Structure 1
């Protein structure tokens, strides 16, 4: 087993024994770190140590989001019932997502012993914290009810837009069950089918001039794309081993088309500046190679020439230092920020005679600023182009924050 080849991305890992039998299936936010941890710890729990001693081979399925990894892990455990998934924990430790048999079905977290009266259930999910967080997030897309019908006043979640109004008779059983069916389809891995259904209903409501309902449905469609990134049926990852590469290639092609970049985009570099109350200013450069984080290429920059808070001057310093090195040439440069940050980058490019494609990405409205354009390019949350730009921007932000926290900690220890 070559652990070095594992990616630093979300996914599901599969351990097999000497008889090529699946003995354990797990999910990870970072496949390389999680799988490596089994073989680096000097002391493991006895049951875990027994499992590790039997591992003869491993495979993995790389995915694009934690939610996707969670659903795929549960589906595979249910399908293969690996020995150590069953025996590492008691059944009572696993959580299931349960849909009740009621006029207005509720979505609940339940243990195995509580599933007998379920209309439908999903799981088991080994990590209770993760499934609780994800079900809470999904309520923003599928506003299911946990309240009592025909109550005197609206429940708390109705005011948050996370209940359709069962409590105050704002929704019919037919409308409510339609939403529950979409939730079931989503949890079964059929994201695309859910979006088609929501889009069809949105157009119908718009045709009927129910614009408020149409807007709500539009927001649900956008939220699905935002929380999951582009995915289809989870089983597709098993059927097509190259699916992740195909998705990333499609993202990059769409990105080049939307930005008007003529050359093929392979390497993207993103720059972010972070500081703490005007001190400890740091810059970061993160890299996507063929759409995937390339952490070996990440670089940090401690700002040396700029005093106080000046993001424009800081981004100029970082870019000058970066392009003074003979590193691989980027096909696209992204600076975190709006028109001001973009203009700062363009000034350095002009000074150094660089012709690389460069854009700015503003956080607030996720607007893309292009050189020579007065108005920003507004990409929808569900568009592949925006999702890949957001991925690298957020990674740059995380990387820069981590570095300047380290600087603050080191400074504190030396005082």
Structure 2
């Protein structure tokens, strides 16, 4: 078989779609290109790839290409293939098969239905709606305002009226109470109402109410009046958000690790009529622009009620070609100021709140228990890991090297058990050596299985921030101390989990699903360790920047330093002080030590601290 690198080099400079596959033939990623040779060649040059795509380049063993007439055709085909294959390295809607559409059939007596997909059958569709309960509630309330019939054959007036007629939810077409034209007017008003064209719906109802009153159908006129008032009451909180009566979607995005949420703020005829939240699974380190592009490809070709204008917080590739995919005109813009930018900020706020809620759900007791049991299965543990310790290293070019230990009990942080470490290596610090030192200091007292302190037990799992080198350092320490503790390292860029190998294998790589509760928990633990270490490192840097020269002179502690600075005000004044003046404050012996040190560093410049606080 021709090596993948050689196959890529032989690709044509032609528009088309490419599909990367793994050794088992599974499609890993689908992309489109104006020039297949130029685009796909990037995957054999890791330095030019986004971090999230580097792992793809490692896993791919084959590439399939499909040529198209032009780039627009390639974009349409890309969207189709992503939906068909659901590749793990493409941005995906979470469980999009469960999204609902509202369908109104195209027939003499239109039916109102919920369906799972929009077919090209000429019917009227709106959706997809990610929250089924919300659209069901909306339609249930809409039926009170614009009744429709659920009978199998509403035109068969010889049968019994439908059950909805007795509840006031059917206008009576099945009982011969209204004409076909009137029934169709009901349905058209419902469509306009669902599209947010509320003023038109009210005007239509008012005209029908006037007509019914003139015909002396007072009971019917009263029902139309009540429906009109109900609409006005329901829409009172709505406010016009655009200077003109425009219809558009404003998209906001929030992300955390491999989870993201896109909020679609639907503005119709100048009013906000809805907000739809779409949870996404994204590859690690995927750019916001790439996530938005993937969402557009997944959502708008199937969005039956999409407006012509879409506002995005960042520009996306191929924006001018999306009309071809959606089969209708689309104008995609990224405003930087004005009311459109404010709409994007509102959409972003909605996305952040939705992601916060979903994150809170992942941190619920039930979700944490699922995550711990998944970790038990993944790491082949005899029981769920109730105590997990995570370690992280922080240093900047070898200066002020520090480390942290954070503890999670039953999936929750046990902050009283967090620990900070100042690295004491005499050699030039490096992450692997520092990790080895920290683990030795933490676990040294347990060598040989000893447990001298019952309040500081051994962990069920050791989690290291890093990859194979850090895992190797941890294994060396555990072997030296004769300890048998499950250990793993989580690499940040690709979110890969490394564990010790078996049967001669040094390391074993585990790729958890991006939707995995266990991966979310490990990411949270790793990030908490990083936050704690970084905070400690920044504190030490701040202390170093505010150190006084006096801190480095033997015999001068915190109390003496404060006394000297209160008496003289600054290091410069201390240098100018006479031996007698210094002796009055600290005594003759320390005064001599102080004068010698100050003279030795007379040409050095030090920041002065006037209080004992860092």
Q: TM-score, normalised by structure 2?
A: 0.34
- RCO higher in structure (CA 8 A, sep ≥6): 1
Q: TM-score, normalised by structure 1?
A: 0.50
Q: Which structure is larger by alpha-carbon Rg, 1 or 2?
A: 2
